[in-house]
Amino acid sequence: MTQPTFDPSSIESILHEERHFNPPSDFVDRMGSVYVSSLSDYEKIYNRSISDPQAFWTEIAEQLHWYRPWDRVLEWSPPDAKWFVGGQTNICDNCVDRQVRNGHGDETAIIWEGEPVDNGGPEIRRLTYADLQRETARLGNALKKLGVRKGDVVTIYMGMVPELAIAMLACARIGAAHSVIFGGFSSQAIADRVTDADSRVIITGDGAWRRGKIVPLKDNVDQACETLAAGNRDVDAVVVLKRCENAINWQDGRDHWYHELTAAADEDCPPEAMDSEDVLFLLYTSGSTGKPKGIVHTTGGYMVFTYITARYVFNLHPGRDQVYWCTADCGWVTGHSYIVYGVLPNRVPSLMYEGAPNFPAEDRFWDIVERHRVTQFYTAPTAIRAFMKWGAEHAEKHDLSSLKVLGTVGEPINPEAWMWYHRVIGGERCPIVDTWWQTETGGHMITPLPGATPTTPGSCTLPFFGIDAAVVNEKGEEQPANTGGLLVIRKPWPGMLRGIHGDRERFLETYWRRVENMYCAGDGAKRDEHGYFWIMGRIDDVINVSGHRLGTMEVESALVSHPAVVEAAVVGVPHEIKGTGIAAFVTLESHAEPSADLREQLRDHVAREIGAIAKPDQIRLTDALPKTRSGKIMRRLLRDVAAGTDTEQDVTTLEDLTVLAKLRESEEE
């Protein structure tokens, strides 16, 4: 198998942004201090991190606790890296126990706010490091009693409750890898991921709150278990957190109440000494083929990388009355790296919110910021565009003066949303850190540093320390300024993925074969005359919806599984709120009658099969799809149709030229 031919220089830059913002002059005074205070300081540290990476990463790693020091900082045989070789550590110990040992057990580690609001306000819980030590130990011992051993994979499918973070940390504590599945995914998605990971234990909840309604988590797990059983795969244990107290089915012998297991468990559970290269977690992300990819991250390098990127990018200082809030879900890598594993070692309270940003009203996020005096706020451009649509008045009625650093994650942010964020939320006084990174990279790769980096709306600016990022052609030759190309990383970094679970060939093909010995991110990019990076979009068929990468094949497979559908093609389409929406072109069986009701049925069907995040925004019912003579669907033409733009692309290989005209007339909602 070879990579498709791609001419990076064919990516045109249509965004021309001239606005520039220096770090606020009073930023250092308001923060107390910053780790990197000027662009010249950044350049000095960056140059050292590239010229002598082993010394640089040694100094960072020594700030954390290791049971056994490493023998070698790095072993690099492209594409395989081993970091801190021979070292032994435990990331739960560094997040939790180290803080208790150092006398900070009574300090707040996690602030949690539930979605429901009554006359007394929302439910709020504050967990100290001592609380986390006790609860992760109890759950760790309970998992051991259920037969979980070092190296096993535990599946976690929960809402955004403290027990989700506790479950992740408990797995790390006992040396079990975890596989967290976003609570909005369907039973089939659970079954697929449990099968691939060969997981035998699932931690879930009875339900989760979302916009005032209960998401039936346990029901979805039960359906997944039925699917697994039909394929002769049994789940040994399902641990159920009682959250919503909705009615659930119960299977004696398999199902266990979370609270009963932990209440009966011992509080003494010493963290397992883990080799630096032992697997910490699997996290499944969609690819351009139907099967999700189980991205493998290991212990030591990921721990060091998330710790230092969180510290520098958000300017986290323990003991400074800081409250950090990342609005992501722990079902995504952002939640792994920048709610749990990167923030807790820095000893700054990490806020978790259970529900939707517009429940019970569109000002919920700003109500939370005001109530908890949030200082660092990290969210997605999708959310920012939604806030813009709802109106600035929702933010303006709250006191947001506590905010000091704003961040964006998940996709490139368009300049107008950046400016709205800067003016309305930041009051023109907060640096914005527009971070580019991926599930595969583990942590921030290209990002401004607050207090140091001048920013330009729409650009993620400069590489983080130790990151040798470049824009190249397919020969690996660096492109001139303002010329499109492939975004690559030319040197290893500690947080990098170690593979795709059970699929070495896919790992090589997806990331390493397009440009020899360089990690290919799958994004097109350019660097401007200042050396700033601009991300220009994906070079494959993955759709980035609200910051979440979804493979077209998964959505197409879900559509075709409906009895009325014979064929489907899915493409991304510009969307005012999500950035990119999903447009589906569907050919029906001869007996099916096109209707608005059928389109809604298909949307709901996709939501059941994959999850609500994959629900198409457009469904066009058509008699035929544009295909080459060999039968390949020409999705590049469908993108033009979905976006309502004229096609100026080569159509010489199109089998039937009349199909395009018919598609443009096709009924859509």
Instruction: Identify the pLDDT of residue 1.
Output: 37
Last residue of a domain, one of 280, 312, 327: 280
Looking up residue 177, the CATH number of its domain turns out to be 3.40.50.980
> Which range (207-211, 406-410, 557-561) has the least confidence?
557-561
Which of 477, 509, 476, 472 lies closest to 487, judged by CA?
472
Task: Specify if 561 maps to a domain.
Answer: yes
Q: Report how far residue 297's alpha carbon sits from residue 51's, in angstroms, rounded to the nearest whole number.
A: 25
Q: What tens digit of pLDDT does each residue of 438-456 get?
A: 999 999 999 999 999 999 9
Residue 623 belongs to a domain: yes
What CATH number does residue 587 fall under? Answer: 3.30.300.30
For the segment 473-514, what is each residue's pLDDT rounded down to a tens digit? 999 999 999 888 999 999 999 999 999 999 999 999 999 999
Of 245, 280, 315, which closes a domain? 280
Predicted local distance difference test score (pLDDT) of residue 229: 95
Which tens digit of pLDDT belongs to each residue from 319-340? 889 999 999 999 999 999 999 9
> Which residues pair with residue 257 across a beta bridge?
240
More confident residue, 580 or 80: 80
Q: Is 90 helix (H, G, I), strand (E, B) or coil?
A: coil
**247 or 391: whose pLDDT is higher?**
247
Mean pLDDT of the 106-120 span: 96
Q: What percent of the chain has pLDDT over 70?
A: 91
Which of 281-285, 585-589, 662-666 shows the lowest mean pLDDT across its residues? 662-666
Say what the pLDDT of residue 365 is.
Answer: 98
Q: Beta strands 121-128 and 293-298: pairing type?
A: unpaired
Cα of 357 vs its chain's centroid, Å: 18
Query: Structurally, how many domains does the chain consist of?
Result: 2
More confident residue, 542 or 321: 321
Confirm whether 394 is domain-assigned.
no
pLDDT 10s digits, 7-20: 444 454 434 677 89
pLDDT of residue 195: 95
* Residue 656 pLDDT grade (very low, low, confident, very high; cuts 50, 70, 90): low
What pLDDT does 244 receive? 97
Using the predicted structure, report yes or no on whether residue 132 has a pLDDT greater than 80: yes
User: pTM score, two decimals?
Assistant: 0.85
pLDDT in the model for residue 540:
66
Token reading at 162: 């403290």
Task: Say yes or no to pLDDT of 289 above 90.
Answer: no
- Is residue 267 included in any domain, yes or no? yes
Q: Which pairs count as long-range contacts for 472-478, CB under 8 Å and 24+ apart, including other chains?
A: 472/8, 472/515, 472/518, 473/8, 473/9, 474/6, 474/8, 474/514, 474/515, 475/515, 476/515, 476/516, 476/517, 476/518
In which residue are the tokens 């920012």 written? 384
Give the model's confidence band at 663: pLDDT under 50 very low, under 70 low, under 90 confident, else very high.
confident
pLDDT range class, residue 569, cuts 50, 70, 90 = confident
pLDDT tens per residue, range 229-277: 999 999 999 999 999 999 999 999 999 999 999 999 999 999 999 999 9
In a domain, 30, yes or no: no
Sorting pLDDT into bands at 50, 70 and 90, what band is 279?
A: very high
- At 399, the pLDDT band (50, 70, 90 cuts) reads very high
pLDDT of residue 632: 54
Boundary-marking domain end, from 257, 280, 303: 280
DSSP states of 172-206 as a string?
HHHT-EEEE--TTB-HHHHHHHHHHHT--EEEEES
- Of the candidates 326, 353, 323, 354, the one whose C-alpha atom is nearest the C-alpha of residue 340 is 326
The mean predicted confidence, pLDDT, of the chain is: 90
Backbone angle region of 477, left / alpha / beta, with phi > 0 → left and psi within -120 to 50 → alpha: beta
Q: With 90 as the cut, is the pLDDT of residue 6 above it?
A: no
- Sequence-separated (6 or more) residues with CB below 8 Å from residue 508: 79
pLDDT at 2: 41
Kindly indicate the confidence band of residue 640, based on its pLDDT and cuts at 50, 70 and 90. Answer: confident
Is residue 107 a part of any domain in this protein? no
| Banded pLDDT at 545 (limits 50, 70, 90) | confident
Question: What's the rounded mean pLDDT across residues 106-119?
Answer: 96
The pLDDT value recorded for residue 83 is 98
Tokens linked to 377: 């706020």
Check residue 652 and give its pLDDT: 42
> Considering the domain boundaries, does residue 172 fall inside one?
yes
Question: Tell me, what's the pLDDT at 366?
Answer: 98
Which residues sit opposite 30 in a β-bridge? none
Report the pLDDT value the prediction gives residue 343, as an integer from 0 to 100.
98
**Secondary structure (DSSP) of 142-173:** HHHHTT--TT-EEEEE--SSHHHHHHHHHHHH
Q: Which domain holds residue 595?
A: 542-664
pLDDT at 566 over 80: no
pLDDT of residue 539: 77
Please tell me the distance from the alpha carbon of residue 437 to that of residue 367, in angstroms, as a whole number.
29
Whole-number pLDDT of residue 14: 39
**How confident is the model at residue 567, as a pLDDT?**
77
In a domain, 618, yes or no: yes
% of the chain with per-residue pLDDT over 90: 71
Which of 562, 575, 561 lies closest to 613 in space, CA to CA?
575
